[in-house]
Amino acid sequence: MVRLTVQRQAILDLINRSNQHWDAEELARCLGENGEQLGIATVYRGLAALENAGLIQSIQLADKKRYERADKGHHDHLVCIKCGDIEEFCDNKIESRQQQVAQDRSFQMTGHQLLIFGVCQSCSNDSRESETP
Amino acid sequence: MVRLTVQRQAILDLINRSNQHWDAEELARCLGENGEQLGIATVYRGLAALENAGLIQSIQLADKKRYERADKGHHDHLVCIKCGDIEEFCDNKIESRQQQVAQDRSFQMTGHQLLIFGVCQSCSNDSRESETP
DNA sequence: ATTGATATTGATAATAGTTATCATTCTTTG
DNA sequence: CAAAGAATGATAACTATTATCAATATCAAT
Ligand SMILES: [Mn+2]
Ligand SMILES: [Mn+2]
Ligand SMILES: [Zn+2]
Ligand SMILES: [Zn+2]
């Protein structure tokens, strides 16, 4: 299993204390600001190790990977194309239909990722305000 | 609307004649081998322009974007983690549940992407053969 | 505790996919 | 035809991530 070095523990603690979806750079910066400065390569390796161990989870966005706490369990995401905000949801009907789809094709599913893109509530309020009525 | 230059027409034709999920590099190489050599930047720009116009569609994988015919309409994908093979499916129950999830949160959905990862049938056959029984 | 094997770190080079720049070459429009 | 507007292609630049490698740290016996 993973060796929980001070560096990895720092990464894990920060992620577990928060509710965000962190990218490697943000994480390194935040740790640095809190006196826990670690090399960017160590952050990438630490994140990979922690994810392998199931201690954190991630989502792959178009440009970068983002990590979050694993104790929330599996869920999927709504991504706002205006502000980048990420909301979460889990729909059991969707989850079970996916199993079915895979089974129907003799495809041994190991995982999945569902991203819903669009405009979040707060962003659509913002644009409504600035309309010419 | 898009200007259908000879370069873009070549890209579009190749995609429309095939059933694959092309990345920019593959496309450029294949065109080059068929006497339609175009700069890689032109390929990237052409793909973006054609997609904007709705003439092709794409999926964003972890490492790169892959393009395919648009006339098949929307569908989602099963990606084999062994051989990279990409299968397609469309499940109306999943599609409608997504609408519901978005609506419930006042999230204005503009699109989505569902990737199911796992081992395809042919790859799981392969590994069964090489087992010690 | 000492030693030797193994794993981790951090600085930095390298890689991969993609976008930006810019001079040149089409197209379109008046 | 001439000016304005796009598109092209070579290549530089950029971003996220991985590879390299020497220096440390940790582990597992002796
Ligand atoms: Mn999440
Ligand atoms: Mn497809
Ligand atoms: Zn938003
Ligand atoms: Zn396969």
* CATH code of A119's domain: 3.30.1490.190
pLDDT value of position B126: 79
Virtual torsion, Cα A13, A14, A17, A22, nearest 10 deg:
-130
Q: CB B19: neighbour CB atoms within 10 A?
A: 10
pLDDT range class, residue B133, cuts 50, 70, 90: low
Residue B110 dihedral angles phi and psi, to the nearest 5°: -115, -15
Q: Which candidate in B101, B123, B125 is best for mutational testing of the A interface (most A CBs within 10 A)?
A: B101
The rounded radius of gyration (Å) of the Cα atoms in chain B is 18
Interface of A with B in 72-101 (CB under 8 A): 78, 80-81, 87, 89, 91, 93-94, 97-98, 100-101
* CATH code of B34's domain: 1.10.10.10
Virtual torsion, Cα A69, A55, A118, B89, nearest 10 deg:
-150
| Residues B65 and B93 placed together within one structural domain of the fold | no
Query: Residue B125, exposed/middle/buried by CB under 10 A (0-12, 13-18, 19+)?
Result: exposed
Contact A49, A5 (CB under 8 A): no
Could you tell me the two tokens for B17? 């004649």
Q: CB A96: neighbour CB atoms within 10 A?
A: 12
pLDDT digits (tens, 9 = 90+) for B30-40: 999 999 999 99
| Residues A3 and A51 placed together within one structural domain of the fold | yes
**Residue numbers in A near B96 (CB within 8 A):** none
Residue A132 has pLDDT above 70, yes or no: no
Give residue A74 CA to ligand 4 midpoint distance, Å. Answer: 25
| Residues A104 and A122 placed together within one structural domain of the fold | yes
pLDDT value of position B1: 81
| Residues B51 and B96 placed together within one structural domain of the fold | no
| Residues B66 and B38 placed together within one structural domain of the fold | yes
Least confident of B36-40, B68-72, B124-128: B124-128
pLDDT range class, residue A126, cuts 50, 70, 90: confident
Cα distance between residue A2 and residue A29, in whole Å: 23
pLDDT value of position A133: 53
What ranges in A18-91 are assigned the alpha helix state H?
A: 24-33, 40-52
- End residue of a domain, out of A30, A55, A72: A72
| Residues A60 and A123 placed together within one structural domain of the fold | no
Cα distance between residue B87 and residue A104, in whole Å: 12
Q: How far is the CA of B54 from the C1' of D20 (A)?
A: 44
Could you tell me the two tokens for A81? 């194309």
Cα distance between residue A55 and residue B31, in whole Å: 46
Residue B47 dihedral angles phi and psi, to the nearest 5°: -60, -45
Residue A130 has pLDDT above 90, yes or no: no
| Residues B49 and B64 placed together within one structural domain of the fold | yes
| Domain count of the fold of chain B | 2
- End residue of a domain, out of B23, B38, B72: B72
- End residue of a domain, out of B40, B72, B104: B72
| Residues A37 and A99 placed together within one structural domain of the fold | no
Segments forming the whole domain that contains residue A61: 1-72
Could you tell me the two tokens for A98? 């996916």
Which ligand has the minimum distance to the alpha carbon of residue B115?
2
| Residues A5 and A66 placed together within one structural domain of the fold | yes
Interchain proximity A117–B109, CB inside 8 Å: yes
**Residue numbers in B near A83 (CB within 8 A):** none
Contacts of B47 (CB under 8 A, 6+ apart): B11, B24, B27, B56, B58, B65, B67
| Residues A41 and A101 placed together within one structural domain of the fold | no
Interchain proximity A98–B106, CB inside 8 Å: no
| Residues B1 and B53 placed together within one structural domain of the fold | yes
At B96, the amino acid letter reads S
| Residues B4 and B66 placed together within one structural domain of the fold | yes
Virtual torsion, Cα B30, B31, B32, B37, nearest 10 deg:
-160
The average confidence (pLDDT) of chain A is: 95
